[in-house]
Each structure stands twice: as C-alpha cells, then as structure tokens.
Amino acid sequence: MKQTIYDIDSRDSRPGIAFLRVDYNVPLDRSTNEIIDDARIAATIPTIRYLQELDARIILCSHLGRPKGQVVPSLTMSQVAKRLELMLNEPVKILTSFDGISIRGEVNTLGPKSVVMLENIRFVPHEESNDPAFAKQLAESADIYVNDAFGTAHRAHASTVGITHHLPAVAGLLLSREIEMLEQVTLNPERPTAVLVGGAKLSDKIGIIENLMNKIDQLLIGGGMAAPFIKAIGHGVGQSSYDVDQVSIASSLIDGAKSNNIDIVLPIDAIVADAFSNNAATKVVPISEIPDGWILMDIGPQTISLFESQLQNAKTVMWNGPMGVAEFTKFASGTREMAVSLSKRTKGISIAGGGSTSQMIHDLGLTNSFTHVSTGGGASLEFLEGKNLPAINALLDKP
C-alpha cells in the first residue's frame, strides 16, 4: 500500500508547496488545437481541492503530446490552463521556467491555495531521460511531491520517478483510486469474474490474459485479435491481419482455458468489409463464413447479444480494448453497444481500461455509469499484465 495525500495530515507540518504531477495529455483538434475531451483534467480536481484545504501552494506539472525535448508552440499548456481555470473558477498562471529555485520564488509571492502550471515538461530533453540533475532541480521548487498521473505511471521520467529521490512522495486521489480499482481485478476479484478483451493484435493483450488466467471464469474476445482464435478453431478469416505465430498462441490459450475451467467466448458473427476503409462495402456473416478477400472489422449483432448474456451474471467485469475498428464510425457499433450494455449493469463492478475503450465511454457520456474507467492507456495495460509501474513503486509505502 502506498501513502496518499490523506497521510499528509499526519506529518509534523502541512505542505507549503506541493509539486503535483498530473496527466493533462488531452486530445486536441488537429485543425483548431482546441481540447476535445477534458476528462483527464476534471479527474484531478478532487486532489487539487484537497491540497487547497491543506493551504498548499500547488505546482502542476504535465506533458502534452510528443514534443521530444523541443519547444513545440502547438503543444503549449496554455489551452489546458484556460480549461482548468474554468473548472476551478480561479486563475492558473503558467510558468515557463523549469528552475526549481526560480519556481519556488515565484510561487512564494502567491497566497496559500494558489495554483500554477509549468509549461509542457517534455519540452525539456532531460525529462524523458530521467536526468538526475534535472530531477533535483525540479524538486527544489516544492516541499512535497504528489503523483496523480496514472497515465504516465509506467514511465521512469524525471517528473515521475527522479524527483521522488528528493521529496516525500505520495499518491493523489486519482492515482490511489486507479490502484484500488485495478487491484480488484488483479489480486482477488469477486467471482464469477469476466474479462472482455479486444483491440487489433493478440500480442498486445497476451500479458493480460496470462496474468489473469487463474483469477477469471470467462474470457470474451472481440476486435481484430479474435482472428487468430477463429483460425485456431478451424475457420478462415479472409484478408484479416494477424501474425501466423499468433494462431499457435491462441490454440495454447484455448487449451489453457480448458485446463483452468475458463469459458472462452468467441464471436459468432462479424461485420466484414471489402477494404480497410470507413467507406468500404460491408456485410454481416457467420464467423465461420468470412469470405476470401474480406476483412474482419467488428463483431456482429448476434455476438453483441451473446456477450451481453454471458456478462449478465458476472460480479466483476474488466473490459480492455475495442470490439472493432472503432476509429471508423461504420465499425464502432460493437464497441458502442458493449459500452452501453456494461453501463446498465446494476450489480457487481464494471471496470474499463485502455485508451480507445475509455474514449468511447467518455464520448457516450457513460463514465459515471461504470464503477471505474481508467485514465491510463499503456499504464492500465501494464498494471493488468502484473508489471511493476516505476512511478508507483517510487512512492512512499504505508508504515
């Protein structure tokens, strides 16, 4: 168990200045550079408000996009700061210096509860290399470090790991919630437990399946990663993309599931297309009748009904990965219908993770209808695989 901001009150003194690492890597409209979805910003408000209750001055730090150590004007934090100002109803000043002493001096001119935001931390090449000198420099700005950036927890960078060598480091409310919820799946889930996985490639999800194999009762498989499983049970998949070695892996997983009394549920029908395009010709076919030259693009209506019925009695449901090529509106129905169905569950817990999965849920306005929707894409994937996340490991343990 990691210490959180709730443990700060038990310290000898409250934090004067808190360095709060957040994940404000929000999607931007390519033409207008406007924020498309501010869910990641909103998710950190409880942590900011709690630190303000402790009279802390708050330094927010985040990255945006992939500037690769260069100053990229389109990736400045100004849009994010403006959106946060609206949410907090108070000013959020942007600081362009990354020198800790200068930052501390600037922040000390402001009153308690004030909020400032550093410019995009990945404008600095020393961030992603976890440069010790840069980490120490950042630490000189504050009295305590709070990590609320689950989306970067799998990265050992200066602002996520290096800085913790110089400051007391605790989890924010969002990060601690992520850990709590995902541990409900990975440690001792309430049974029966079902895992719904999708996405383009089986190789991306093997780690999750193998890590959870002895903890679940059902494994439901959609998306492009269903192709090697369909091949493994003797059917053709047309021109659907898959690696040949994935078929033997799928066969091994099917055998392993039988040995562990796990029910693997595969699609029974699919929406196929004659090209990988949103404008392609389409038809719905049984999974055993995918025509030569056609591509598996989404689960079909019978599969949606099958998956819904299979998940009805599960007390724990974990969903990671889209059911089809959801970036094309024509092939987003499977993912959309599963999101709606899971949002209507009235018993047990429903947890969703993965970038495109979470995005669909947010776009449909269903976030609050799930027990938890993870804010981390790669981080939630690695957590579910059972990997240690360096930014979480770096935080103080509870006594």
What is the set of active-site residues? 40, 201, 355, 378
Q: Could you write out the DSSP letters of every residue in 70-101?
A: S--GGG-SHHHHHHHHHHHTS-EEEE----HH
Instruction: Tell me how far apart the alpha carbons of residues 110 and 96 are, in angstroms, rounded to a whole number.
Output: 16
Looking only at the bridges linking them, the beta strands covering 295-299 and 269-273 are: antiparallel
- Tell me the residue ranges of DSSP E strands in 258-395: 263-265, 269-273, 282-286, 295-299, 316-320, 349-353, 372-373
Asked whether the beta carbons of 41 and 87 are under 8 A apart, the reply is yes
State CA 370 to chain mean position distance. 14
Q: Which helix (H) or strand (E) holds 220?
A: strand 218-221
Instruction: Tell me how far apart the alpha carbons of residues 380 and 394 are, in angstroms, rounded to a whole number.
Output: 17
Contacts of 163-167 spanning 24+ positions with Cβ under 8 A: 163/19, 163/21, 163/135, 163/138, 163/139, 164/394, 164/395, 165/132, 165/135, 165/136, 165/139, 166/135, 166/136, 166/139, 166/140, 167/19, 167/139, 167/142, 167/143
State CA 171 to chain mean position distance. 17
Q: Which helix (H) or strand (E) holds 193?
A: strand 193-197
Spatial CA neighbour of 395 closest among 57, 158, 165: 165
Calculated CA dihedral for residues 123, 127, 132, 133, nearest 10 degrees: 10
